[in-house]
Each structure stands twice: as C-alpha cells, then as structure tokens.
Amino acid sequence: MSPTLTADSVSVSFEGLRALSKVNLDVPRSRITGLIGPNGAGKTTLVNVLTGFQVPSEGHVILDGERLGCLPPHKIRRRGVARTFQSGRLFSDLSVLDNLEVTGIGLGLQRKEAASRAAEMLEWVGIAHLAERTAGGLPYTDERRVAIGRALMMEPHYLLLDEPAAGMSAEEAAQLASLIKRIIAEKKCGVLLIEHNIGLVLNICDDIHVLDSGEIIDCGSPAAIKASEKVRHAYMGTQADAVGEIL
C-alpha cells in the first residue's frame, strides 16, 4: 500500500453540533487532493484534525499506515505533516528569514543549520529577495508564499493548504498553481488543497473530495466532480450561479 495521510471515519462534535460525521479521506503522496465545499462544511475542522489541532470525537488519523492517537501539533509536524493557515499567521514582527528559521529550530535544527535551510527554502519558493523584510509588512500574496515556505521547512511528506488563494487575482492564483505543481514534482509531498476558487481546484487537483455539512458527499476526478449532480445540488443556493458557470 502506498503511503498516505488518512482520515479514518473521523467525527467531530462541538457541544452537540456535528461538524464532521464519519469522514474518510486519503491524501496520497505526490498527488494533489482537493477539498471543496460550502462555507461551514467542516473543511478547516478536517485539516485541524489531520494536524492535531483538534482531537476527533470518533475515528482516527492514520499516517503512513500508523494511527496517530492524540499527538500534539508539533509532534505531528515533526513526523512530516505541515500546514498553512487561512490567515497566514506569520510572526509579523520577525523577518521573513527568521520566520522560517525559527520553524527549523522548532523542528530540532541547530541555529546555523536552520538559517541556511531557511535561506535555501526562500530561494526555492522564489522569494529570496524578501528575506530581510519584516513579515508583517508584506503584501498578501507574498505573505502566503512565506507561509508555504515555512510549512515546507524540513521537507514534510504532506502539506495541507487552507485556502491559499483566498483574495488572489487570477494571475496570482496561476502563480500559486505552478508553485503547488512544483511542490508535487520536486518535493514529492502529498498536498491537500482547500479552496473556494473552484477553477483552481478543478485545474490542478488529481482527486477532489466534496464536503457538505460535515459529510463527504462525493469524490472523484475533476471531470467526475464537474458532472456530479450531488455537487451541483450542494452548491445550489449558496453559489449556484458561480458554480453553474464554472461547471
């Protein structure tokens, strides 16, 4: 069996409200898995479960065939599952380089090693010129790229991107798409892409899962998702027109 990051019938309840209900999801390596769904469907909750930020009420997270139990986020990160956050969450008073460097230190590197790896990573992402800038003053898109660079420190096996294209123009989203493709090609990560930009998801994902009201209602190739009645139905009322145009 090829290595995957798997949610095995994961359920999460917040005080009676069921945010996720028996969700199964595989994130295989070297592939882009898309996760779409209307607002409040539970997408971020699922990412939180996969990265240890949220303990599931039922079910398990399985990393390369091994159950993770209740590991804290930083231990899961050390085992190769990295993520970005919807709102960047960089250390805004630190320089871009320091943001990556402190991540390297947190993952157990010595200072010098962390600094040189951080510089290499900035180079790889294509933002080496921003190294000395204070992270808080960066434009939106650069901030996202720094966040992705930070998540890629120490070569994680899985990368979970939570709405990385939110607020980006079409051109910026295209740049992001090519960065994600490079991550697959060169870093061999498994990527889970959560996005509202359905065009981007249909364009670059190998598989797409559709989450609605805490349940996976459909999954398959982009072509299959495009044709799916259920998906069309789920999006009715929320973004019916927009989806109609894209699908």
Q: Which of 21, 30, 62, 33 is nearest to 220 (CA)?
A: 33
Burial class for 108, CB neighbours closer than 10 Å (0-12, 13-18, 19+): exposed
Residues 6-65 that bind another protein (CB under 8 A): 53
Using CB under 8 A as the binding rule, whether residue 166 contacts another protein is answered as no
Per DSSP, 186 falls in state: I
Task: Give bridge partners of residue 17 from the DSSP assignment.
Answer: 14
Piece in contact with another protein (CB under 8 A), picked from 93-101, 178-186, 203-211, 233-241: 93-101
* Cβ atoms 149, 84 nearer than 8 A: no
| Comparison of 101 and 212: residue with beta carbon closer to another protein | 101
Judged by CB under 8 A, which of 18, 22, 60, 78 binds another protein?
Answer: 78
Phi, psi for 134 (deg, rounded to 5)? -75, 130
Piece in contact with another protein (CB under 8 A), picked from 18-26, 27-35, 134-142, 200-208: 134-142
Q: Report, in Å, the least distance between residue 102 CB and another protein.
A: 4
Cα-to-chain-centroid distance, residue 133: 25
Using CB under 8 A as the binding rule, whether residue 79 contacts another protein is answered as no
Q: Report, in Å, the least distance between residue 67 CB and another protein.
A: 21
CA dist 188 and 230 (Å) reads 32
- Owner of token pair 């805004």: 92
Using CB under 8 A as the binding rule, whether residue 222 contacts another protein is answered as no
Piece in contact with another protein (CB under 8 A), picked from 55-63, 97-105, 186-194, 225-233: 97-105
23: alpha, beta or left, given left = phi > 0 and alpha = psi -120 to 50? beta
Footprint on this chain of another protein (rule: CB under 8 A): 53, 73-74, 77-78, 89, 91-94, 98-99, 101-103, 105-108, 110-111, 114, 134, 136-137
